[in-house]
Structure 1
Amino acid sequence: MLITVTEQAKRAQAVTPALQACAAGKRSQILSDLGRTLLARQADIMAINLAEVKEQASLGLADALLDRLTLNAARIASMVEGVQQIAAAADIIGETIESWQRPNGLLVRKVRVPLGVIGVIYEARPNVTVDAAALCLKSGNAVLLRGSRMAARTNAYLVSIIAETLTRHGLPSDLVQMVQDGSHQSVLEMAQARGLLDLIVPRGGAELIRTVIESATVPVLETGVGNCHLYIDKSAPVEMALSLSLNGKCSRPGVCNAVETILLHQAWAEKHFLRLARELQVAGVALRLCPELQVRVPGSTLADTHDWSSEFLDLTVAIKQVASVDEAIAHIKRYGTRHSEAIVSLDDASVSRFFAGVDAACLYHNASTRFSDGYALGLGAEIGISTQKLHARGPTGILGLTTYKYLISGTGQTR
């Protein structure tokens, strides 16, 4: 018989104090041990995962999702490296963020503490199982993991390795649990487990994120859809603009920090658009073009409103010509998802205007949006890239899984 989400959350809540009572060094030791164990079990992980990838490929799963589902040797190595980096990170639980003394002698300390029990709901990516568990354990939180059915066996095996590691160090395995109910109902139950879960993190497509946000009574960390834009200003160096376009779209098209729309200043487009279009097409990219550009590429596809708002997650890109940086900003404001936006320009005034006018978690000048990643920005592992403004924004790691409380010490003061 399946254990309900409510029962699993209660179990997690009950064992959280055991983790929070651990010395910082012990949490790091557990994670270091986990990293070594994952490497030792690499062949088993890959075999289980490969069977699921083949199964889903035979069912016609899209290439972008197959890519996210896959755990090969390089990705397992990266996953393990992430765990070891989390293990080596400074422990912030219990630190005094600030302190002061009142005129009446009261000593006030603002101290960092875990949130409690985190719920993570995600699609396809089994690496999230390990990333999320490691981040939660390091930050003193228990976690309920609700992965997708397409990766159920891979996720279950990874959680079993985590459970073995916790048990080996004398901690309860209920600190990291895979939700047993794979139905849509379990997503709603997690989103509404107020009083049992302290935070929900949905990682997946727009429909999943919208479902969680609209139904949640638990606070949500919105890791939004990445409809990311690259604006090529009139002063943009040609080779740089081409390189950033190809990297942003082609290096890994199925991820949330890939470029989905390229905006071209009309002066740059007049001289260089055809070369950009040709190089993208040679790379296998399908183009969705505004009317001014579509007439210049015979047989190309005219973009519609849906294209401007789409996170394609494949080798498709929408391209629009604009008259100014202000028109680019207006387009991003209308269609962007506040994830990652970039400008290619040598004009300081255009860059300043773009940075001031665009509201997104990560803004880039002459660099690829593909750097929107905790590791790439030197922030360490992330539970997701938050597109909201409270309580965390951008790549969200250990710090975003904590809160604080005030500890006030006196000598008998009354009011």
Structure 2
Amino acid sequence: MIDLIEMGKKAQSASFDLGQLGTNEKNNALLKMADSLIANTKNIIIENKKDIENAKNNGIAKAMIDRLMLDEDRILGMAEGLRQVVALPDPIGRIDRGWTTTAGLDIVQERVPLGVIGMIYEARPNVTVDAAGLCFKAGNAVILRGGKEAINSNIVLADTLRNALKEIGITENAVQLVSDTSHEIANEMMQLTDYIDVLIPRGSGKFIKMVVNKAKVPIIETGAGNCHIYVDKDADLDKALPIIINAKVQRPSVCNAAEKVVLHKDIAEKFLPKLYQALKDNNVQVRGDERAVKIVSDIIPATEDDWYTEYNDYIIAVKVVDNLDEAIKHINKYNTKHSESIITENYAASRQFMKQIDAAVVYANASTRFTDGNEFGFGAEIGISTQKLHARGPMGANELTTTKYLVQGDGQIRE
């Protein structure tokens, strides 16, 4: 039986030890973890195949199985992500600002670890490595609780990282995995306020909402991605088509995949038939509003629920609007504050869109698939925050820190 309180105590002790490590010690440990992943590739793939087979037997969608799958390239990618984290500046000890008060007190605001971070996530085994690496770089211990779909993969990945730390004399309790995937254990973890400083859920919008509603531990909300691409009347349509196909088709199950396309009426008649055919050729089901269906009769009529839905599948919905203002209003109503993109050659239109869209990341003439810690140069990410407090957008090591004030006096007392 899992004793979460005991795990919490071990994590707190480990977080204190990590806070005493220097940058070189942390970086050497991360390199050791990366090398250990590569060395253990064969065993990781064997365990991952068990999860894949179970997923197929349980009828899990093809797009979701893609999120679950690990091969040599993806393991290499996880290891490279850790090496990129090594190359990042160490956020711990960085001075954000400093000043001297009228009383002669010297004050500096310094970056420090959050402490113990809890991760509750679904069928993404790469999260096990990304979270462990980023938390470690920022001096935090982490308690990981993945979904049952990836349990065999998560166990072997966590054991690989823990053994790497142990081999070089650093506490393996910096990384702990909750092997019990029951809802009861997840609920208990959400209440562990005495031991976990911050809880970060990753998964579907429904899953994240459940964690937010149940948890007593402070939450950084991440992940749900009902992402839109708006094609303006002044768009270069030769750019628009490959951007949309990339954003929808490359990995449809991830949170930065495009779920909706919004078209200006002036280009809809010309562009939508080409877009529909390209999506159909990539096995994407297209739904749309009345105006879209009038242009392409094979498009399936969309319901009101469609506009709110993050499909995580080969499905996309199309909306035709009269102007940029209507596009912005529609997107702000239905989006999840994740990533939105405008395709246009009109600079004023792109500036208005980027200023008025309420989302963590807003693009002009680029795929939403770039919303990713690795693509942003963070080495990896622990999640993509869709809230506004503490962190927003892809979260790297810097977002896993807080600050404290260090005040140096010389006998001052307050009058």
Query: After TM superposition, is the score higher than 0.5?
Result: yes
Name 1:25's counterpart in structure 2: 24
Would the alpha carbon gap of residues 143 and 209 (structure 1) be closer, same or farther in structure 2, given more than 3 Å must change?
same
Counterpart CA distance in 1 for 2:3 and 2:206 is 24
Name 1:312's counterpart in structure 2: 311
Counterpart CA distance in 1 for 2:58 and 2:217 is 35
Runs (4 or more) in structure 1 with deviation over 4 Å come to none
Alignment partner of 1:40 is 2:55:
no
Name 1:103's counterpart in structure 2: 102
CA RMSD between the two structures: 1.2
Instruction: Report the CA distance between 1:245 and its aligned residue.
Output: 1.2
Equivalent residue letter for 1:362: V
Name 1:206's counterpart in structure 2: 205
After the TM superposition, which residues 284-303 of structure 1 pair with which residues of structure 2 at under 5 Å, given as runs? Answer: 284-303=283-302
Name 2:146's counterpart in structure 1: 147
Counterpart CA distance in 2 for 1:325 and 1:379 is 33
Alignment partner of 1:247 is 2:225:
no
Given that 1:289 and 1:302 are in contact with CA atoms closer than 8 Å, whether structure 2 keeps it comes out as yes
Given that 2:8 and 2:196 are in contact with CA atoms closer than 8 Å, whether structure 1 keeps it comes out as yes
Alignment partner of 1:391 is 2:372:
no
Counterpart CA distance in 1 for 2:223 and 2:162 is 30
After the TM superposition, which residues 46-195 of structure 1 pair with which residues of structure 2 at under 5 Å, given as runs? Answer: 46-195=45-194
After the TM superposition, which residues 258-407 of structure 1 pair with which residues of structure 2 at under 5 Å, given as runs? Answer: 258-407=257-406
Instruction: Report the CA distance between 1:171 and its aligned residue.
Output: 2.0
Equivalent residue letter for 2:39: A
Given that 1:4 and 1:180 are in contact with CA atoms closer than 8 Å, whether structure 2 keeps it comes out as no
Instruction: Report the CA distance between 1:233 and its aligned residue.
Output: 0.4
SS class of match (2:277): helix
Instruction: Report the CA distance between 1:190 and its aligned residue.
Output: 1.8
SS class of match (2:195): coil
Equivalent residue letter for 2:69: T
Equivalent residue letter for 1:351: S
SS class of match (1:236): coil
Q: Render the CA deviation track for 1:94-149: whole Å, top value 9, x for unaligned.
A: 22222111232211111110000000011111111111001111110000000011
Counterpart CA distance in 2 for 1:154 and 1:365 is 37
Name 2:10's counterpart in structure 1: 11
Identity of aligned residues (%): 43
Q: Render the CA deviation track for 1:181-235: whole Å, top value 9, x for unaligned.
A: 3111222222221121111110001121011111122111110310000000011
Instruction: Report the CA distance between 1:383 and its aligned residue.
Output: 0.4
The 10-residue stretch of structure 1 (388-397 or 175-184) with the greater mean CA deviation from structure 2? 175-184
Instruction: Report the CA distance between 1:310 and its aligned residue.
Output: 0.9
SS class of match (1:264): strand
Point out where structure 1 has 5 or more consecutive residues left out of the alignment: none
Counterpart CA distance in 2 for 1:381 and 1:282 is 32
Counterpart CA distance in 2 for 1:298 and 1:392 is 44
TM-score by length of 2: 0.97
SS class of match (1:295): helix
Instruction: Report the CA distance between 1:48 and its aligned residue.
Output: 1.1
Counterpart CA distance in 2 for 1:224 and 1:150 is 18
Instruction: Report the CA distance between 1:73 and its aligned residue.
Output: 1.0
TM-score by length of 1: 0.97
Aligned length: 414
The 10-residue stretch of structure 1 (320-329 or 85-94) with the greater mean CA deviation from structure 2? 85-94
Counterpart CA distance in 1 for 2:223 and 2:127 is 16
Point out where structure 2 has 5 or more consecutive residues left out of the alignment: none
The 10-residue stretch of structure 1 (271-280 or 73-82) with the greater mean CA deviation from structure 2? 271-280
Q: Render the CA deviation track for 1:225-272: whole Å, top value 9, x for unaligned.
A: 100000000111111111111111111111110110000000010222
Q: Render the CA deviation track for 1:338-387: whole Å, top value 9, x for unaligned.
A: 00000001112221221122100000001110110112122331100101
Q: Render the CA deviation track for 1:143-171: whole Å, top value 9, x for unaligned.
A: 00000111111111111111111111222
Counterpart CA distance in 1 for 2:391 and 2:331 is 22
Counterpart CA distance in 1 for 2:61 and 2:68 is 11
Counterpart CA distance in 2 for 1:88 and 1:33 is 14
SS class of match (2:280): helix
Equivalent residue letter for 2:218: P
Counterpart CA distance in 1 for 2:21 and 2:253 is 39
Instruction: Report the CA distance between 1:301 and its aligned residue.
Output: 0.9
Given that 2:288 and 2:300 are in contact with CA atoms closer than 8 Å, whether structure 1 keeps it comes out as yes
Counterpart CA distance in 1 for 2:112 and 2:39 is 33
Counterpart CA distance in 2 for 1:129 and 1:210 is 21
SS class of match (2:110): strand
SS class of match (2:295): coil
Given that 1:4 and 1:181 are in contact with CA atoms closer than 8 Å, whether structure 2 keeps it comes out as no
Counterpart CA distance in 2 for 1:278 and 1:181 is 46
Counterpart CA distance in 1 for 2:388 and 2:197 is 18
Q: Render the CA deviation track for 1:259-316: whole Å, top value 9, x for unaligned.
A: 1000000001022211111111112111101111213323431011111111111111
